[in-house]
Amino acid sequence: MTKYILKRIFYLFVTLFIIASLTFFLMKLLPGTPFSNQNRMSPDQLKIVKAQYGLDQSVFVQYIRYMGGLLQGNLGTSFQFNNEPVTALIGQRLAPSMQIGAQAMIVGTIGGILLGAVAAIRKNTWADTLATFVSILGLSIPSFVLAVLLQFYLAYKWRIFPVALWDNFQSSILPTLALAAMPLGSVARFMRTEMVDVMSSDYIELAKSKGNSSWGVVVKHALRNSLIPVVTIIGPMAVSVMTGSMVVENIFSIPGIGEQFVKSITTNDYPTIMGLTIFYSFLLIIVYLIVDILYGLIDPRIRLGNGGKE
Amino acid sequence: MEKILEVKDLHVDFDTYNGVVHAIRGVSFHLNAGETLAIVGESGSGKSITVRSILQLLAKNGTISKGEILYHGDDLLQKSTKEMDDIRGNKISMIFQDPMTSLDPTMTIGKQVAEPLLIHNNVSKKDALKRAEEVLRLVGIPNPSARMNDYPHQFSGGQRQRIVIAIAIVDYPEILIADEPTTALDVTVQAQIIDLLKELQQKIGTSIIFITHDLGVVAGIADRVAVMYAGRFVEYGSVNDIFYNPQHPYTWGLLDSMPTLDTNEGSRLHSIPGTPPNLLNPPEGDAFAPRNAYAMEIDEEEQPPFFKVSKNHYAATWLLHPNAPKVTPPEGIMKRFAKYERLGGNVK
């Protein structure tokens, strides 16, 4: 297991290197320059400014310099946010994004598992229909629409939550709900399908014949065996929650990282684009690593490292 | 002998898309303490449904529409869900057909074997696991202490069936229902499992209801045999009665389609022509009549009652009616009759 994780961490760095290189060259192909007032600068002034940011060198030299800095953990300095180091920029803005992202994933996954399980156990009853309806809503309503709806009713009309504010836990509830709908919907769908299958399997019948109550059968045997497809979709789901958060952050005025990403692309803030891309990639690779480890924990047949087989 | 289980006039219906299927149409039998009763019949005859009704483990669309299932005189059909949970896996337990799919793939076998103890007996987890280990040794899992934490996929099919048996007997049930426990196994392993069941019956004194479609297996394990066809019993009696003095044409057909050592090389294996009736609309008369070469007119019209052949041996065929014409059974059956007579009804 340890060997496997070490191997995966090695691949993580290889992948990050490739992503960083690709992004670097693609980014240089973006039209425009980082300097918004370029037209009013004399050629000499432009030269001085370019030299200051190292943009006078050939793209290849810039690449070598950047990768050199990256190796030392230096992501460079932002062009637009008061010359702040990109690492500091990410650090400040990361916490709110991570908080609502993680909260949404937790609410969505746990809620979806419960909803899907209820639907499966009460198959073809009103509870199943209701659960299916809720999950289809969750899947089909875009997070930004839901965000606005939540904002309008829960915050503006009924004054339960703040409209758009970022200070305490209460202010994180609406954005969390807006982001959680999609994972909740898809987890519930997958959970229901798999659990209906599991509930009709032979080992569930054997579990019943042992004298388990219907509750005991579900908790001890059916839930864990139904989780594999759910784990499979957690990876891609984390991606969409993370990217989806940009719009939602904007709606609720959350000082998150998503907004910066968009801004840095429109202003050709090269170091920030690079830093955020590398950071997001890192996060995704870690999520996938966790998913793969979870597989083994849930299902011994795909346990890694020890071969799994006799 | 004490009757520990008595099933009276059991009727089971299944609600399907096409209508109501009358899967079990009046089955009655009893089980004596310590004996093995085999229920034989082809696929779809209702063997599994009969025994599943005892534990009330029918599929959601199945209902027991009529009948009584008396366990020590108490009707199980009147019990609450909770009371049935207390009986399952404790007083009456079941061995399933396919060991490859009947174990939970994500739970260690130690825990799976210990589970009935934890449900029914007020024991600590540690004691339950200790007992599970003993039972695994009893059913012949080599080196059980080292294998308690292994998962089902790490065992072979035969070993898995031993584990399924261990789960069924861990709480010393009074009645063990074995639903085709050897069907999914290869022949050498089949024999081992049969021997194991016989050995366990000696050790823990359980009664067994053994379901199979394999008459060869029946001869090895059963005390009494019931032959089932289209949701009814057609003949029941001791192993000797059924094998050497069969009376129902369906039993003849079954026995005749079993290859024996006398079967000549190159000769064709017998089979019963036709297919069982559709139980959406069960026939008025004897369900076997359309496939029965010995059928009479009355077979089409009226269901035959059970006629007594000898003590404990009954068959539901009009051929046993005093007014019925004498018929000559197939050659293979005549040989069996001859053997029965020669040995005075005591063939074993």
Q: Inter-chain contact B104–A216, Cβ cutoff 8 Å? A: no
8 Å CB contact of B88 and A225: no
Residue A165 neighbours by CB under 8 Å, 6+ apart: A171, A252, A253
B55 touches chain A (CB under 8 A): yes
Interfacial B residues in 254-273 facing A (CB < 8 Å): none
The whole-chain average pLDDT of chain A stands at 84
Model ipTM value: 0.87
Q: What is the pLDDT of residues A220-275, one digit of tens each?
A: 999 999 998 888 888 878 877 876 677 888 888 888 887 777 778 888 888 888 88
Q: Does B107 touch chain A (CB under 8 A)?
A: yes
In whole angstroms, give the CA distance from residue A275 to residue A271: 6
Q: Within an 8 Å CB–CB cutoff, is residue A197 touching chain B? A: no
Residue A308 confidence (pLDDT): 39
Q: What digits encode the pLDDT tens for the residues B295-343? A: 888 888 888 999 999 988 999 999 998 888 888 888 888 888 888 888 7
A7 and chain B in contact, CB less than 8 A: no
CA nearest B226: which of B236, B215, B214, B239? B236
B31 pLDDT band (50/70/90 cuts)? Answer: very high
Question: Between A and B, how many CB-CB pairs are < 8 A?
Answer: 79
Residue whose entry in the numeric block shows the structure tokens 């969505």:
A108
Q: In chain A, which ranges are continuous DSSP H helix?
A: 2-28, 43-52, 59-71, 86-121, 126-140, 143-150, 170-199, 202-209, 214-217, 223-226, 228-251, 257-266, 270-298
Is residue B93 within 8 angstroms of chain A, CB to CB? yes
pTM for the full predicted model = 0.82
Which pair of tokens denotes residue B170? Answer: 């861990």
DSSP-based three-state secondary structure for B65? strand
Give the one of B101, B151, B167 whose C-beta lies nearest to A202's C-beta: B101
From the list B94, B105, B107, the residue facing A209 with the nearest CB is B94
Residues of B in contact with A220 (CB under 8 A): 107, 115
Structure token digits, residue B122: 């007020």
For residue A167, the distance in angstroms to the closest alpha carbon of chain B comes to: 43
* A206 and chain B in contact, CB less than 8 A: yes
**Partner residue opposite B85 with nearest CB, options A213, A299, A301:** A213
Q: How far apart are CA A186 and CA A138, in angstroms?
A: 8
Do B193 and B165 touch, CB atoms closer than 8 A?
A: yes
Q: A222: distance to nearest CA of chain B, Å?
A: 9
Q: What does the block give as tokens for B35?
A: 């004996």
What percentage of residues in chain A have a pLDDT greater than 70?
Answer: 95
* Chain A nearest CA to B202, separation (Å): 22
Query: DSSP string covering B81-115, please?
Result: HHHHHHHBTTTEEEE-S-TTTSS-TTS-HHHHHHH
Confirm or reject contact between A215 and chain B (CB < 8 A): no
From chain B, pick out residues whose CB is under 8 angstroms from the CB of A310: 154-155
| Residue B126: partners with Cβ closer than 8 Å, 6 or more residues away | none
The pLDDT of residue B128 is 95
Q: What number of residues does chain B have?
A: 348
